[in-house]
Structure 1
Amino acid sequence: MKLIYLMITITSMLTMIVMSLASIISKKSINDREKTSPFECGFDPKNMTRMSFSIRFFLIAVIFLIFDVEIALMLPMILTFSISKLKLWMLTSTYFMLILIIGTYYEWKFGALNWL
């Protein structure tokens, strides 16, 4: 039992020493204005460094991800066709497809699928 405590103590001390050395060595003492400014092909930036992000592009990307997940959910429906009851399989697959079609129509009607 003493051996385990000794190993834990030595490991903890060694870890603390290595962390302290890494912290001391990695500190940069000189904060130069040129090093902290953003780099833009050797020129000073004229505009903000952050560019605006198109919400329309984000919306299209989210819609793509949603329909991608829905396709991944539809693929096992083909595999379960042979082991399921036909009536139950048709009911669930029709209901699922109906939800997808209504969702697509809703997005199309309100202009979410327009790229312009």
Structure 2
Amino acid sequence: MIMLMSTAFLIFLICMLVMLLASLISKKTFSDREKNSAFECGFDPKSNFRMPFSLHFFLIAIIFLIFDVEITLFFPLILSMKFSFFLNYYLMILFLISILLLGIYHEWNQGALNWMF
């Protein structure tokens, strides 16, 4: 146990040392308003150079990703159907589907699924 803790502590110290050296040696950059703005041959830009990002689209994408990962929980249940009792299998599937439906209802109730233009 002591060997494991000392090895973990040694790894932690090496990581901290490397991070400290990287921050000391790294190139320092100073950014100002002129360097961050768009450059159009010395003239002021005619439009905003950064495209607006839809936060609602990002939220829908994250919700899709979460529910997509939860759907993958059903694949092991398909394989375990042969080895389990029908009542246990039915209760497990009912439990997982109810969690998914409660999550969708919560997102719908919060208004995260409404597309507004």
Q: TM-score range by the shorter chain?
A: 0.5 to 0.7
Read off the aligned partner of 2:108 and give its amino acid letter. W
Aligned pairs for 1:95-106 (under 5 A) are 95-106=95-106
SS in 2 for 1:112: coil
Q: How many angstroms apart in 2 are the aligned matches of 1:87 and 1:67?
A: 25
Amino acid at match of 1:115: W
Which letter maps to 1:111? Answer: G
Once the two structures are superposed, the pairs formed by residues 1-116 of structure 1 within 5 Å of their partners are: 37=39, 45-116=45-116
Indicate the percent of aligned positions where both proteins have the same amino acid: 50
Per-residue deviation at 1:38? 6.9
For residue 37 of structure 1, report the CA deviation from its aligned partner: 3.6
Deviation at 1:104, TM superposition (A): 0.7
In 1, distance between residues paired with 2:46 and 2:40? 11
After TM superposition, which residue ranges in structure 1, 4 or more long, deviate above 6 angstroms? none
TM-score by length of 1: 0.56
* Alignment RMSD (CA, Å): 2.6
Shift of 1:45: 3.7
Distance 1:81 1:38 in 2: 64
Q: Are the counterparts in 2 of residues 38 and 49 from structure 1 also a CA contact under 8 Å?
A: no
Radius of gyration: which is bigger? 1
Number of aligned residue pairs? 79
Q: Secondary structure at the match of 1:98?
A: helix
Distance 1:76 1:82 in 2: 11
Q: Which runs of 5+ in 1 are unaligned?
A: 1-35
